[in-house]
A = this chain, B = another copy of it.
């Protein structure tokens, strides 16, 4: 059946095909205006035209205006490739996400970090280039792209360890700032980095539980080959060591940051028969699982067992009971990421090569 809002043959009614630019052509044939042509039209030399278009130092008012008019009339667009070639920099930086696009769009972490990066870069004139690097092939292509001077520097978001990207980029001479404390084999990275104070945040969470009279505080830890998982467990250990003297190893269960693993972790802890009056989960997702298990066992939160999470992810304030959780200033981390990279690009010698930003926590109903 014919649908009136479209043409029968599914092609548009416009006829602009003829001015489609053929990209195959090599030198010549392209009549895009060059600086040379602008200079000629303005009646000045290329040098003067260039100066006029770049800040206009040492250019007479008259020449300035002539060049600007000529550029506007010709629709002049500076060839950035030529500019990059002579300047040795492209004025653009990459935000590389070494992650599946699945998680990219589902994990609010990326959204907030990107927002922070983006806002810090606003008005700087530096172009932000987002890039996906999901497998070795793409990682190689990215290194080629960046090392080929298309990117002055790279912001790398990557939580999969070990990730060869930081080293590969640095080896290629590209300055990198990583979101996340390096651990594992790439500890030898020369990259700068910024991370949340996972350790301190976890410690504070446990200290808060202690201040509320809890004594037998268990934890469902995250993946230990990720610094976030390792550090959060570390924080729990520190606080517990201070509070309990010795380390209650049997109050630790290991998960993988997922809700299901939180569920299983809680079951495992309860099954050990040791008294427990609080559970600190290393992620909100795991905390959800913990809550589920406790509900199922008929245990009251926070009366019987208090629960704390980590991340303050969307939904944490609406679960039952609302989750008390550690918050990271992700936007701020994004902004710091940018500042550090720009410092590195400027060659500032006194800049910090790594930054740990403090976390806080929000108290809701669960603890």
Contact = CB atoms under 8 A, between A and B. Distances in A.
Contacts of A160: none
A149 B129 CA distance: 15
A238 B127 CA distance: 46
A344 B24 CA distance: 10
Given A23-B346, A148-B81, A190-B16, A141 B114 contact: no
A101 B345 CA distance: 26
B26 A88 contact: yes
Contacts of A83: 148
B130 A131 contact: yes
Interface of A: 1, 3-6, 10-12, 14, 16-17, 19-27, 30, 32, 75, 77-90, 92, 101-102, 104-106, 108, 110-111, 114-115, 118, 122-123, 125, 127-132, 137-138, 141-142, 144-145, 147-150, 152-153, 170-173, 175, 181, 188-190, 192-193, 197-200, 203, 230-231, 234-235, 238, 344-347, 349, 352-356
Contacts of A238: 3-4
B355 A10 contact: yes
Contact of A85 (B77, B79, B131): B79
Is chain A's interface secondary structure helix, strand, loop, or mixed overall?
Answer: mixed
A17 B128 contact: no
A303 to B, nearest CB: 30
Given A14-B189, A128-B131, 15 more contacts: A1-B203, A5-B234, A6-B199, A6-B200, A10-B354, A11-B352, A12-B192, A14-B190, A17-B349, A23-B175, A77-B172, A80-B148, A105-B114, A127-B131, A127-B150
Contacts of A141: 125, 127
Contacts of A12: 192-193, 353-354
B24 A347 contact: yes
Given A10-B356, A25-B88, A4 B199 contact: yes
Contacts of A190: 14, 16, 19-20
Given A3-B235, A234-B5, A26 B87 contact: yes
Contacts of A87: 26
20 contacts: A4-B199, A5-B230, A11-B354, A14-B190, A20-B175, A20-B190, A20-B344, A23-B153, A26-B88, A32-B173, A77-B148, A79-B148, A82-B85, A101-B114, A102-B115, A105-B105, A122-B137, A125-B141, A127-B131, A127-B145
A344 B16 CA distance: 12
Nearest to A82: B85
Nearest to A314: B106
A199 B3 contact: yes
Nearest to A358: B10
Output the residue of A92, A108, A127 with the most chain B CB within 10 A: A127
A189 B23 CA distance: 20
Nearest to A25: B88
A150 B92 CA distance: 10
A170 B175 CA distance: 34
A21 B173 contact: yes
Contact of A81 (B11, B84, B110, B200): B84
Nearest to A86: B27
A198 B5 CA distance: 9
A12 B186 CA distance: 13
